[in-house]
Chain A
Amino acid sequence: MSETITEPVLHQEPEAGGSRRMTLNMGPQHPSTHGVLRVVLELDGEFIEKATPEIGYLHTGIEKQCEALNWQQVITLTDRVDYLANLSNNLCYSLAVEKLLGLEIPPKAQFLRVLLAELTRINSHLVWLGTHALDMGAMTMFFLTFREREDLLRIFEMFSGQRLMTSYIRPGGLALDPPRGWEKPVKAFLADFPNKLDEYESLLNANPIWLRRTKGIGILPVEEMLEVGITGPLIRAAGIPMDARKMTPYSGYEKFDFNVPTATENDVFARYAVRMAEMRESLKIVQQALEGMPEGPTRAEAHRVVLPEREKMKTQMEALIYHFKIVTEGIAVPEGEIYQVVESPRGELGYYVVSDGSSKPLRVHMRTPSFANLQGLPNLVEKRQISDSIAIMGSLDFVLGDCDR
């Protein structure tokens, strides 16, 4: 088991008549922390008395760098915040900037954005499922989920030319028109994936080790979850149907028919069940987006903001001038501030964007779900066994790049 890797760093003298307390450093290089998270655990035997998460090992100053770049250059940084859900981040930032600019996005671009955001959700949940099950000893899951993830990464590569850092959704629409025949691999994935989900469930839902390690573990009262700021599948597994796609629809989500899966058990298993159901709902949305895909352009008509088409740039002088001005000067975004929320695979993803009217943002603050969810970690693991903390951390599904920025 992975717990044996960390070594105790400090042995305290046993109290008179009391049990022996030990301080244990979990991480920053612990496999089940999925990145560089350090949790200082104070142990009483096998039980955790106090847990203190230490973050910041992956702090890269992305928010600072945003202030040094043009509005459209920031997109590349949003990819690198949550590297498992980069299209959700692209989308959130683009929506915020578009609101400030007052841009109208063509329906085809909106549908493609929804389609890609849902494929991103499946992609992120697949990584979560594989690594979470791996932590709990079910190694096969990792190979199976990464097999399907490969299909998704190929789809992203087909759209944007990149597997991970797509930068595909941009203020004003999409970076490129989708290539000819893009529906084919998406349809193949849609036809194939429900069987794969059944396969995962057949491996886990009757697995006694999986059930014993997840059922009834990691329960926290709903009020406390709201209080510490936990969102996403965790709060939905506690019975609150909180989902930005339904509550404040963006990018045309109101046109799609889907459910928000919830559970009431509020344990690690319920979070697993909610995420599995979410993947099925995402498939439904992708299917609807494919069937109802409108015709038309994928970029808004706004010469001063959106780069002209390559063909126009080579034949029309005005297009060339606008291209030159956008690339060299950047786009001027009117003064104002926006707090745009999207439902990322991990929960509420918010971009607070402030403009002073210039070609660079005055402030880009990212309200990332991993940061808020990790803040609830002590509440979730204290007074529980150390082996349960592995299951609980896995169920939080944090990405440290998303947390530290």
Chain B
Amino acid sequence: MLPETLQENELAGGLAHGELTLQIEPDDILAVLEFFKRHQKFERLSTVTAVDRYPMEPRFEVVYHLQSVARNLRIRLKASVSAEIASATAVYAAANWYEREVFDLFGVVFSGHPNPKRIMMPDDWEGHPLRRDFPTHGFKYSYGEQK
């Protein structure tokens, strides 16, 4: 059974190129992940990532790819957020590093994450490189300034 909160919200999404996508309300994400893991045998979280739709609002789409090995199915969940979403680590341990990566490169905050630190960039880095408004070239940084 789908969680009640989810049934109230209208589920958007559909099938494209043979892949099922569900658009989820950000507040429901934990309930939905829990539902797919416990009741639908989606035992794996393949990846968590984000897409920056700048200048749209809310600008970030957090994207989850789940896989059921037993049923040989894959599903994609998407939640549009402007800055913050609950951490999926409580449901899938694999989300840990992926959420750190999304935080590091996009600046999306995952509330309740056990170790909310940067993973790719240095700890004292300023900015989030994968945002669309972060330049590809010419970011103010030079090796000479380091101590």
Contacts and interface: CB of A to CB of B under 8 A. Distances in A.
Interface stretch (A56-64, A79-87, A299-307): A56-64
A227 B65 contact: no
Residue picked from B44, B63, B76, B118, most chain A C-beta under 10 Å: B44
Nearest to A362: B51
Given A68-B136, A227-B94, A352-B63, A365 B129 contact: no
Interface in B3-61: 16-17, 19, 21, 43-47, 49, 51-52
Nearest to A404: B120
A362 B92 CA distance: 27
B130 interface: yes
Contact of A339 (B76, B105, B134): B76
Given A247-B72, A339-B19, A365-B49, A226 B121 contact: no
Interface stretch (A19-27, A201-209, A367-375): A367-375
Contacts of B129: 61, 64
Contacts of B44: 226, 229
A226 B43 contact: yes
B119 interface: yes
B82 interface: no
Given A352-B49, A352-B63, A372 B94 contact: yes
Contact of A229 (B17, B19, B45, B122): B45
A228 B130 CA distance: 25
Contact of B19 (A68, A228, A338, A404): A338
A350 B51 CA distance: 16
A371 B94 contact: no
A48 to B, nearest CB: 19
Contacts, number: 83
B65 A350 contact: yes
A63 B49 CA distance: 12
A354 interface: yes
Interface string A83-113: 0000000000000000110000000000000
A194 interface: no
Contact of B69 (A227, A240, A337): A240
B47 A352 contact: yes
18 contacts: A55-B120, A56-B120, A56-B122, A63-B105, A226-B69, A228-B93, A337-B19, A337-B21, A339-B46, A341-B46, A350-B47, A352-B63, A365-B63, A367-B47, A372-B97, A375-B96, A375-B97, A404-B120
Interface of B: 16-17, 19, 21, 43-47, 49, 51-52, 63, 65, 69, 72, 74, 76, 92-94, 96-97, 105, 118-122, 129-130, 132, 134, 136
